[in-house]
Amino acid sequence: MSAEASFQHPVAIAQVMVNFGARHGADAATCLLGTGIGEAQLRDAEALIAREQEMRLVENLILALPQVPALGFELGLQYNVATFGIWGFVMRISRNLREATQSALRYLPLSTAYCQLSLFTDEREFGVCADPSTIPQHLRQFLLERDMATAVNLLRELGLQGLHVQRLEFQGRAPAHAARIAELCGIAPQYGSARNALVLRREDAEAPLPMYDARLVRLLEDQCRIQLEHRQVAGVTGQVRRLLLGPLGFVASLEDVAQQLAMAPRSLRRRLEEEGSSFRDLVETERKQAATQLLEGTEMKIEEMALQLGYGDTASFTRAFRRWFGRAPGEYRKALVR
């Protein structure tokens, strides 16, 4: 079975993140470190970046701004309909919010969403559910909150600010920054829910939108389909990275990954070399990045972290961490709170 294709995003999405970081004191060089995105590229309206580059930028923001509460949610509120080009415009000219969200989900890779989104409706309510389970654990809460905030902002903009969101539901326990989320969007989030969801009244979701144009919707949806084809990329390095961070995890061997990509291990090794990488280097780089995220952003025990990162025991993880940073994981974490 082949890995899910990666899609390129407009550089405008990265520009929003870089501008957001700058407002909080993280300069462009810090935000772009290791992404392969140049500052000149940010100014090119036609430029596209890979999903893997965007993910690295997200990791850089989290590392650079640990003091900002509800960082992901606040970032999500910076995106508006215009940010997403044709994808956003299709939503704006749809018949109503229900059809707008249906169109949005058909062409979701053109957005910045990482969660798997789905719709639900009953006699009284309509809503969008967000499933973050395929997102790497160290980025999961940040990207869930970013996607939920973006959805809130887009629906409010389409509803001309007259839209009232009934509920904002999250699974799990309330984080320390729950009050900040309420302050940012004016909605007190509910925790311990059965789903992550944004809930509207059904009558609001089915109210006519003022710019509805059936002919233009059809034309722009055709353009969305063309853009999906244009932005699809098949870099093996990106596919391997996605499998390591997602369904297979860091315990996967080169043979495991090759099987998922439907190719021989020797062929996978050669393709990675052609792209200037190697399986060992990819695993090492992603373990290192994930380790710092987990130490700085969670209270996970070192023993659990070792297993999460694919090490057979804590001692092996500690040796690797000392090689990377010159100190043990516990020492690294203690230094953060001084």
* Residue 203 or residue 42, greater confidence: 203
Q: Residue 233: what pLDDT?
A: 53
Select from 168, 177, 216, 174 the least CA-distant residue to 196.
168
Asked whether residue 134 carries a pLDDT value surpassing 90, the answer given is: no
pLDDT of residue 195 exceeding 90, the answer is: yes
The whole-number average pLDDT for the span 242-265 is 85
| 233 vs 2: which has the higher pLDDT | 233
What number is the average pLDDT over the span 318-330? 92
Position 5 confidence tier, pLDDT thresholds 50, 70, 90? very low
Q: Which helix (H) or strand (E) holds 226?
A: helix 214-231
Measured on CA atoms in the order 206, 211, 213, 219, is the torsion positive or negative?
negative
Q: Above pLDDT 90, what percent of the chain?
A: 52
Mean pLDDT of 314-324: 93
Q: What's the confidence (pLDDT) of residue 228?
A: 77
Q: Does residue 157 surpass a pLDDT of 70? A: yes
Return the pLDDT at 8: 73
Domains of the chain: residue spans and CATH: 1-68 (no CATH), 70-230 (no CATH), 236-336 (1.10.10.60)
pLDDT value, residue 4: 41
Residue 234 or residue 82, greater confidence: 82
Please report where in the chains the tokens 């965007």 appear, as a residue: 54
Q: Could you report the per-residue pLDDT of 161-194, keeping only the tens digit for each?
A: 567 889 999 999 999 999 999 999 999 999 999 9
pLDDT at 236: 79
Average pLDDT over residues 11-28: 93
Average model confidence (pLDDT) for the chain?
88
The yes-or-no verdict on residue 3 having pLDDT over 50 is no
